[in-house]
A = this chain, B = another copy of it.
């Protein structure tokens, strides 16, 4: 069963294009993670937050990635500051409201 990972954390920047220039290689690498389907990169430059919404093929692949992501973040964010949760998708309702 597919799994959605929603994550958000304090982030001093950069944002927008500046972040994209810095992380384009990472963004490409993430696509090769086992079970990765897509990621929406989210940010709030005013509130100084960054994060993402990820879709994985399975809970297992999602949790493997989450572990890697938390490790990578641990150098710049306190563990308890990283907010995340996993959710199932409601496939029937998403057929109505989500791009297929």
A residues in contact (CB < 8 Å) with B: 4, 6, 8, 15-17, 19-20, 23-24, 27-28, 30-31, 38-45, 49, 51, 53, 85-90, 92-94, 96-99
The interface residues of chain B lying within 8 Å CB-to-CB of A6 are: 6, 8, 42, 53
The answer for the CA separation of A37 and B85 in the assembled complex, in Å, is 23
Known A-B contacts A6-B6, A87-B44; the reply to A97 vs B17 at CB < 8 A is no
A90 near B43 with CB under 8 A, answer: yes
Give the oligomeric copy count: 2
The interface residues of chain B lying within 8 Å CB-to-CB of A4 are: 40, 42, 53
Task: Tell me the minimal C-beta distance from A93 to chain B in angstroms.
Answer: 4
Q: Which of B28, B40, B86, B99 contacts A89 (CB 8 A)?
A: B40
| A90 to B, closest residue via Cβ | B41
| A54 to B, closest residue via Cβ | B97
